[in-house]
Each structure stands twice: as structure tokens, then as C-alpha cells.
Amino acid sequence: MSSHSLPSGVGAFPEPCKRRAASVKRMGYRLAAVLVGLGAMGLARGASAGEFDASGRYIVDPDATAFVDFGEAFDPDTDRYVPKDAQPECLLPAFEKRADAGALVGDHVVHVEVSVWEGCAERFVVSVPPEKASYRATVWMRGGSVGAQMTAVYPENTGRAVMVAKMAPTGRVTSDGWVELASNDFPVDGETVEAVYVRIIDYDSVGSAIDALELVPSGSYWEQQSCSGARDSVCGPEAVCVHQKCRLTRLYVPPLPDQTGRDAFIDTLSGQLKTFFGGRKTRLQDLPVALDTLEATRASSSPWAFWNGVATAIRRLHDWHTSISSSIQGVPRQRRLNVCFIEGQGDTTAATWPAHAVYKDVLVSHVGKAGGNQGIQQGDRLTTIDGVHPIAWALSLHDVNWSHWQADDSSVHSEFAERMRGLILAYAKTFTIIHCDAQKQTCDDKPTTYAVSELPEDTGGQVGCDNRPFYHFKKDNPGANHHVGWDFFSGPIANTTDEEAIYGLLWDTLYGGGDPNGHVNGNLTAAFTTFRNKARGVILDHRAGSGGTMDAAEKVTTLVRPPAVPLVFASPMEIANFDGPANSTEGKALYFLHVQGDAMNVGAADFEKDLPVALLLHRDGSASDFMPFGMKGADKVRLFGPAPTAGAFSTYYNFQFWSLSWQIASGDSISQAGEGLIGHGVVPDQIVLQTQSDLLAGKDTIHEAALAWLRTGLKP
């Protein structure tokens, strides 16, 4: 029998638990290699699990409903669960039952070698009694880093959804390397359940040992209910309404740390934000709000209150590069709405529904061809969601919506418009549309209100939303699903003559990665070669600019301007704990300090001096901020769009914490004029709003404005 001591540390478990050391070591977590660790964290103890006796033997909790030690009784063939829809590459076992003198219990462990990148997982079943009950699960790992979750699946005819409870470290670690993972309390209907299992993936791809899977009754059974709207009270205090179902919140986040752990986490994260987050605008305006929100989470008494409080604080940083995610974002949608929305000007319905004093009108940009649009058509207008302007409603979800994504520039809301369909399906009760007739160029004098619960059930994919109502190449346009992704589309523009020789390039990504012949830079080079040889005018359509890397942003500028250094990037380490230049004198000094180092070098000596280039913008950030910044002001360049770009002139750090991940913007860009650029998007040279009347007439307002400008000064 192996022996396992628990190194000394802080805190103690209640008697009669026994262990060799006087207390339990609290496990620390490193947020990122470049930042300091979180320090000590321990679970707020509720229901217990197995303990260690004085000799270091693991003693199973006497109240345990199920226990798997992966020893003699464990059968790799029958105790492994394989889903009915498993991919062929996931059918073969990716684990091995091994004899191990260091096993936590008995003399065997399971060694798992399934990589998260392969899309497979291993699943080991446990038995539960035929009753409705709630359980807490624990499992121990050693020698790597695994992701674990408890899962309960039900036969299709029961109407019950799959239950998933994420697991995370409790803080208990043995002297020989075993780490305990635990779930929060999760409900299982043992009368109808098909299988209950622990799902394991290996983050390190080097293999991890698993032992001592234990289920202990804990808490009360919870029955999922239908609901409507983000704050439906039917869900009670422990659940939130997402996609018309109450979601038990604790299933999606780690267990609640004890007060010492909560304090350590908040102190560390607050310190990191104060030191490394953002630039002048976001540090002065948004960081204080986030820190106050974070501070308020210290007294949280439930896992969701704490972790959602942390998530809300991160979202309050108001930054395009800053976000947090958990598995709650992956809950399946229930309904279908095969339409896309875009900010614009509802000129045809202005008399029926006046414009908002702050927010732009929201129009139906385009609809899918496969149904599910409820009669909603291109050119219709979305007036309200749950009685509120769509953008104001979307902004109000910051404490609920874990997919909240916002531009640094406070005047920009295109991210919300582009994602409006998903927000409606997930969080709305009703939405209101003014229908229009494209043939008559008229609209209803009364709006129509739809209940989300009455939309058709989800039946598959929906059309992509990319801020482009139409595509404009003579041939080789993206497909009807409006999905551009990593693709590049280029060629002569439709409805132009051969003599005009107006060409275009449509793309979303700038992930060059430094390779001059790579996918992005190679496609840019090929398109620019064509433009140099054949074009008299060019339209660059980047209205879904997803950012990328500096080299690709710089590459675009080589077509249109001579060499210059329009900005420098002050890295996080160089300006740590710095609020940014308070005036242009400070800013210019910072610019000249870095101009020979980490700077944006734009243009080329052989740029096209006589070629007019129109750049179309809409939802653009990161490298898609840098690129238009480097192009603006060039003699033959004009930027067209409805509003500034996101203003995300920074980099970011990624953090992983088991079932959570987040990223934080850091560093700032300083212009040659000495301005801190974060929070100040690139303003188009010509502000153009998509009009409702143009949509009804089959016209792309922004594209048409660019085309008209090009025709006034084509290359000779």
C-alpha cells in the first residue's frame, strides 16, 4: 500500500478527518508565464471527499455513492463510455491501465494520453442509484494537466439535456504529486439517466495519471425549467436564463475558494490589472470601474457569485482585446433566426420610428436562404428588444453575457450589431421589427413584435454576419452563407467597365505571422501585383476586420504610401504601471524613445503614387486598427465607414484557469504626434451609414460611396 503525505500549509479540515501533516497545502496557480502567480487558493469546504489516515492511506468517504479506484474491478472495455456520435479517430482507447506503486488507492492507475487538440476525450463511467439526487465529484490527477468534467447523458425520448459539471483543483496536493480536482454540486436523475461519467482530456499531451474517482451526495436535486429572457425570475437565485432554459450556474465555473483564496485571487488580479492593463483611456476611465466591481466579489457566498463577479469586472474593462470565457457560452441554442443585422440609418421608417438620440438604427443587412427568418427580409428595421433600443439592450447584458465584446472607443457599437442575432436568441424575450416591401420601397406603419420562444426550433446553420449586405466581384464571390473566414477574394468589381479597370480585395484576417510567403502575406502580395499591373482604382473591403499581426497590417500599406513610422508600440514591460502620456510633450518623448525599436513601419519606396485606393471599414480592431491608421492620410487613399474602428492599439496576455480562460489588453501605441491611441479608433475620411432605402433597392451604401469616389480620379 502506497503512502501519501499532505504537506503542511494553511487551513485545516474538520475532524474526524486525519492526515499525516498538521494541515493541507494550498495550491497556487500561475496565470501566465510573464506575470506573477495567484498565490494560495483553497476550496470553501462543503461536502467532503476521501481523506488520508495517519499512515498516508487514502480513506474513501463513508457516504460515497460511487468510487472507482481503477484497480481489479475496473474493466477498460465495459467501464469506458463511447458516445454514439464519436468520430472514428476517437473510438480507439487513448488510455492504459497501469500497475503503479505510487497509486493513490490500490496498485493501479489509468494513464490518459488524449490530446485536447485531437478533439477526442476519454470517459470513465460511474454508477448512481435510480433516484433524483445531487452529487459532488472528486478525482485525483498526477504527472500532467488534465481537464475533467462530470457528465450525465439521457436517452433522447426523455427530453432531458446533457448535464455537464466542470472540475477544478480544490487546493489539496500530496507530497508525491497527486492533485485533487472537484466539481460543484450537480443534479442527476438516476431514474432515467443513460450514463454518468467523468470526461478527461490531457492539456499537456504528455499523459496524466488518474485515480480515485468519487461521488458523494451533496446539496439538493435541481430540475431544469424553461424560461424567457436573461433575468427571468423563474430560474431562481442559482440559475440564469440562457437560450430559453434555466442554466444551473455552478456547473460552469470552478468551486468557490475559501475567503483566503478569494482574497488572494482578487489581490493578485487587481495588482496585475493596475500594473499591466491598457493604455491612457482604458486605465483612466474603465480600470477604476473594473477594480470596484472586482473588490465587491470578496464577500461572494456562491461559486457563480464569485466567478461571475470576476468575469463582470473583466468585461467592465471595456476593451476589444479583453474578454473572459467559460463553458456557459457553449450551451446549445434552442431557436433559429436566419438573419443578420447592421448599424445604419432607417431613413424609410424615420417618420414611423424616429432615430435614437445616441445609438444608430439597426437594420436587417441580409437573410439566409434556408428559411428560419420568420418573414423578416433585407431592409427591415429592428427597433427594440424587450422594449429597449437594440444597442442599449445589448450593453445592459454586461453582467450576464459571457461573450460580451466591446470596442475600446466608446462611440463604437458595431460588435454588438454584428452579434445581435445571437444575443436575441440567447437572452431576449421579444424583439420588434418594422417590415418593408422592397418592390414598393415602403414600410409598415406599425411594427411587429416576435416572441423568441415562438421562433422555429434550431435546425442547423445560419447565415454569417459580416457587415456586408452584398458582394461586388464580377465572379468568385463568397458563397451565400456570407462566410469569409481566412479566405481572400479578389478581382474586377461588378458593374464597372473594362476601361475603368476597378479591382477589389475582400478579406477579414491579418494574421501574417512574419512569413512573407505565408497565407495572408502571400495573398496580399498576389493581389497587389495584379493591382499594380492592371488596376486604375482599388476597393479594399475589410468590413469584418478581425485583426492579426503587425507585419500583415504593414504589408497593406506598402501599396499606397512611402515609408514612414506613424506610431510606436510601448510594450507592457516598458510602461508597466503607467497611465500613458498626459500631454503631447510626454507622448513625443515616448515616441522618440521607441521609434528605433518596436514601431510600425509602413509604406514602400515603390508604392503606387497614382492608384486611388478606397478602404471600407465597419467592425475593425487590433491589427485592423493599425492597418487603417497606417494608411490614413496617404495622397490617394480614402477610408469609408459608419464609425471609427475599435481603437484596440495594444497586445494582450492569455490566462488559463481550468474551466475558465481570459485575456487582458496590455501596452499602448503612441502616435508621432504624441497621442496615446487606445480608445481612439481610426475615423473614416468619409462617414457613410448604410441606409434602409438603399438596402431595399439592393444597394450597398458604403461600397457605392467608395466606387463613386474612385471614378473621380482613376489612375491614368
DSSP state of 175: T
- Owner of C-alpha cell 489509468: 110
Boundary of a domain, candidates 223, 240, 271: 223
Cell of 40: 494560495
User: Which residue is listed with cell 513601419?
Assistant: 601
C-alpha cell at 122: 476519454
Residue 267 Cα distances to 176, 247, 308, 656, angstroms: 30, 30, 17, 18
pTM equals 0.91
Supply the pLDDT for residue 72.
Answer: 86
For residues 14 and 98, give the distance between their C-alpha atoms in angstroms, rounded to a whole number: 34
Beta bridge partners of 584: none
Residues 658/662/667/671 CA torsion (nearest 10 deg): 150
Cell output for 159:
427530453
| CA angle, 604 then 608 then 610, to 5° | 145
β partners of residue 139:
181
425 in a domain, yes or no?
no
Q: Please indicate, yes or no, if residue 622 is contained in any of the structural domains.
A: yes
pLDDT at residue 23 is higher than 80:
no
CATH number for the domain harbouring residue 150: 2.60.120.260
394 domain residue, yes or no: no
**What pLDDT, on a 0 to 100 scale, did the predictor assign at position 47?**
46
Look up the CATH number of the domain holding residue 623.
Answer: 3.90.226.10
Let me know if residue 619 belongs to a domain: yes
Q: What percent of the chain has pLDDT over 90?
A: 80
| Confidence class for position 627, pLDDT limits 50, 70, 90 | very high
- pLDDT tens digit sequence for 44-100: 544 468 898 888 889 999 999 999 999 888 988 889 999 988 888 888 888 899 999
Look up residue 129 and give its DSSP letter.
-
Question: What secondary structure letter does DSSP report for 61?
Answer: -
Gap between the Cα atoms of 536 and 410, Å rounded: 37
pLDDT, greater one: 24 or 580: 580
Its domain, for residue 609, covers 466-563+603-646+681-716
Within a domain: 182: yes
Domain endpoint, select from 223, 242, 268: 223
Amino acid (1-letter code) at residue 559: L
How does DSSP assign 532-579, residue by residue? HHH-SEEEEE-TEE--B-HHHHHHHHTTT---EEEEEEE-TTTSTT--
Q: How far apart are CA 534 and CA 626, in angstroms?
A: 27
For residue 697, is it within any domain?
yes
CA gap 33, 654 in Å, rounded: 10
Q: What is the pLDDT of residues 499-558, one digit of tens each?
A: 999 999 999 999 999 899 999 999 999 999 999 999 999 999 999 999 999 999 999 999
Rg (CA), the chain: 28
pLDDT at 13 over 90: no
Upstream peptide bond of 469 is cis (omega within 30 degrees of 0): no
CA 713 to chain centre: 42
Measure the CA–CA gap between 95 and 540, rounded to whole angstroms.
50
DSSP 270-325: HHHHHHHBB-HHIIIIIHHHHHHHHHGGGG--SHHHHHHHHHHHHHTT--TT-EEE
Q: What is the pLDDT of residue 244?
A: 96
Domain assignment present for 708: yes
Cell 495550491, residue located: 27
Phi, psi (5° rounding) for residue 368? -75, 160
Last residue of a domain, one of 170, 200, 223: 223
Percent of the chain with pLDDT over 70: 93
Q: How far apart are CA 485 and CA 436, in angstroms?
A: 31
Number of domains the chain contains: 2
Backbone CA torsion sign across 380, 384, 386, 392: positive
Q: What is the pLDDT of residue 113?
A: 87
Answer whether residue 452 is part of any domain: no
